[in-house]
Structure 1
Amino acid sequence: MVLVIELLVLTLVILSIILVIGIPVTLASPGQWEKSKNLVYTSIGIWIGLIIVTSVLNSFIA
C-alpha cells in the first residue's frame, strides 16, 4: 500500500512539473491556447484527481 502511495506522489510531482512548464509556454505562444486548451484542462483534471486519490488512500495508512 505504501508503494502505491509513493507511485501516486511521484506521478503527481512529474505531472506538476510538466504543468508548471507547459501552461506558461502554451499561454505565451501565439495561437497555441486555442489548439491545446482541452489538453491543459484535461491535465489539470487529472492533477486534481491524483490529489484526491492520494489523500484518500493516505488517510488509510496514517
Structure 2
Amino acid sequence: MNFLFQFAVFTFIGFSFLLLIGVPVVFASPGGWTEAKLKTPLFSGLGVWFLLVFFIGIFNSFVV
C-alpha cells in the first residue's frame, strides 16, 4: 500500500513539473491562448492533476 501511495505522489510531482513548464509555453506561443493547439493536452493534464490531488488526499488517510 505504501508503494502505491509513493507512486501516486511521484506521479503528482511529475505532472506538476510538466504543467509548470507547459502552461507558460502555451501562453507564450505565437497565437497566444486563443490559437493554442496545446489546449487539449493542457486541460487533460490539469484534470489528471486534480484527480491525483483528491486521490492522494483520500489515500493519505489509509497510509500510516
**TM-score between the two structures when normalised by the length of structure 2:** 0.86
* Aligned twin of 2:28: 28
- C-alpha separation in 2, matches of 1:32 and 1:42: 19
Query: RMSD of the alignment, in Å?
Result: 1.3
Equivalent residue in structure 2 for 1:38, among 37, 40, 44: 40
- C-alpha separation in 2, matches of 1:46 and 1:58: 18
- C-alpha separation in 2, matches of 1:32 and 1:61: 43
* Aligned twin of 2:17: 17
Aligned length: 62
Stretches of structure 1 that go unaligned for 5 or more consecutive residues are none
Stretches of structure 2 that go unaligned for 5 or more consecutive residues are none
Q: Deviations over 1:24-51 (max 9, x none)?
A: 0111011364311111111100000001
- C-alpha separation in 2, matches of 1:52 and 1:5: 12
